[in-house]
C-alpha cells in the first residue's frame, strides 16, 4: 500500500495527465472548428494560387458573376437612356472592355494573393499547434518532476529506515558477541 505522500502524488499526476488530455482534446476541437470556418477561404486561395486558368476561373466564378450582373444592369441603362447611334455603340463597347478588364484584374489579384494567404494560414496553424503541444508537454513535465521529487523523498525515507535497522542489528550483534567474548574468571 502506498504511503500517503505517494498516493497524493499519484492523484496529482493523474489530474495533470487529465488536464493535458483535456487541453489536447480542446486543441483538436478548436482546430476542427477553425478548419470548417476557413475551408472555403483556403479552397479559393488554393485554386487561385494554383496558376491553373481553369481552377482560378472556377474559384472566382461567383465574383465574376457579380461583375457580369453589374455590366448587364449598366448595359440596360445605356440602352434605355442613350439614343441609337455611334455614342451608344461606343458606350457599349467600352462597357465590354471594362467587363474584361475588371474580370482580368480580379483573376490576377486572386492568383497573386492566393499563395500568400495560404502561407499565412498555414503558418498560423503551425504556430498554434506548437503552442498547444508545448502546453501539453509542460504540464506533463511538471507532473513528472513532482513525481520524481516524491519518489526521491520516499527513497530517502526508506534508506534511513534500512540504515537504522542495520545499525540496530549491528548493535545487537555486538552485544551478542560480547557475551561470548567475556573473559572467564
Q: What is the pLDDT of residues 135-182, one digit of tens each?
A: 777 766 776 776 677 777 778 777 888 887 777 776 665 555 555 555
Q: What is the pLDDT of residues 1-54, one digit of tens each?
A: 666 766 776 777 677 666 666 666 777 777 788 778 778 878 887 887 777 888
**pLDDT band per the 50, 70, 90 thresholds, residue 117:** confident
Residue 159's pLDDT is 81
Residue 132's pLDDT is 73
DSSP H helices, the chain, are 4-49, 53-81, 86-180
Cα 142 to Cα 110: distance, rounded to the nearest angstrom:
47
pLDDT higher for 129 or 1? 129
What mean pLDDT is predicted for residues 48-76?
85
Cα 137 to Cα 19: distance, rounded to the nearest angstrom:
11
- Take residue 5 and report the three cell numbers written for it: 505522500
Is 86 inside any structural domain? yes
pTM of this structure:
0.44
Residue 109's pLDDT is 81
Residue 35's pLDDT is 77
Expressed as residue numbers, the domain containing 46 is 4-180
Is 28 inside any structural domain? yes
Residue 80's pLDDT is 92
Is 111 inside any structural domain? yes
Number of domains in the chain: 1
pLDDT higher for 106 or 176? 106
pLDDT of 125 above 60: yes
Residue 77's pLDDT is 92
Is 185 inside any structural domain? no
Amino acid at each position: 500500500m502506498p504511503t500517503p505522500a505517494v498516493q497524493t502524488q499519484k492523484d496529482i499526476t493523474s489530474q495533470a495527465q487529465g488536464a493535458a488530455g483535456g487541453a489536447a482534446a480542446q486543441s483538436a476541437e478548436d482546430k476542427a472548428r477553425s478548419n470548417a470556418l476557413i475551408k472555403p477561404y483556403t479552397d479559393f486561395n488554393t485554386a487561385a494560387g494554383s496558376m491553373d486558368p481553369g481552377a482560378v476561373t472556377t474559384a472566382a466564378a461567383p465574383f465574376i458573376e457579380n461583375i457580369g450582373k453589374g455590366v448587364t444592369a449598366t448595359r440596360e441603362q445605356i440602352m434605355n437612356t442613350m439614343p441609337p447611334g455611334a455614342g451608344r455603340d461606343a458606350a457599349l463597347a467600352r462597357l465590354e472592355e471594362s467587363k474584361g478588364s475588371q474580370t482580368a484584374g480580379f483573376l490576377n489579384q486572386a492568383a497573386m494573393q492566393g499563395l500568400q494567404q495560404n502561407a499565412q494560414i498555414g503558418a498560423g496553424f503551425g504556430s498554434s499547434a506548437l503552442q498547444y503541444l508545448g502546453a501539453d508537454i509542460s504540464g506533463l513535465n511538471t507532473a513528472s518532476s513532482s513525481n520524481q521529487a516524491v519518489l526521491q523523498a520516499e527513497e530517502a525515507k526508506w534508506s534511513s529506515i534500512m540504515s537504522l535497522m542495520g545499525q540496530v542489528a549491528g548493535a545487537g550483534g555486538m552485544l551478542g558477541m560480547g557475551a561470548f567474548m567475556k573473559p572467564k574468571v
